[in-house]
């Protein structure tokens, strides 16, 4: 009887735990996958874009964009180097795996 009560208590405790909400990165990946301009992107390319946005964009700007709104300013974090940002975003557009033909 004690074992049944303990097992029942553990089951109740475990089933009462809520699943963790998706991280901002996971939410952004899912959002990007719904955008028509990224429909031909591989999962790796979408993940690459999400990582660049997380690295360079302000969190509040990402939230606004996922809501279909436009940030009041550029949306990029202060001090972001435009060349580095452009390079990192451009790297996501190219092939992720090296071409077998070089």
Q: Where are the domains of the chain?
A: 21-93
Question: Per the structure block, which two tokens stand in for 96?
Answer: 């992720």
Segment 32-80, tens digit of pLDDT? 999 999 989 999 999 999 999 999 999 999 999 889 899 989 899 999 9
**pTM given for the model:** 0.70
pLDDT tier for residue 93 given thresholds of 50, 70 and 90: confident
Placement of tokens 């435009």 in the chain: 82
Helix (H, G, I), strand (E, B) or coil at 90: helix
Yes or no: say if 53 and 62 are a contact pair by the CB < 8 Å rule.
Answer: yes
Q: What is the DSSP letter of 38?
A: G
How far is it, in rounded angstroms, from Cα 10 to Cα 64? Answer: 41
pLDDT mean across residues, the chain: 81
């Amino acid at each position: 009887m004690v074992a049944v009560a303990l097992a029942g208590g553990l089951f109740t405790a475990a089933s009462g735990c809520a699943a963790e909400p998706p991280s901002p990165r996971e939410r952004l990946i899912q959002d990007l996958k719904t955008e028509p301009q990224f429909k031909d992107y591989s999962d790796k390319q979408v993940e690459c874009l999400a990582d660049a946005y997380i690295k360079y964009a302000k969190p509040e700007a990402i939230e606004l964009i996922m809501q279909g709104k436009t940030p009041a300013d550029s949306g990029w974090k202060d001090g972001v180097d435009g060349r580095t940002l452009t390079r990192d975003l451009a790297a996501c557009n190219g092939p992720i795996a090296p071409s077998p033909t070089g």
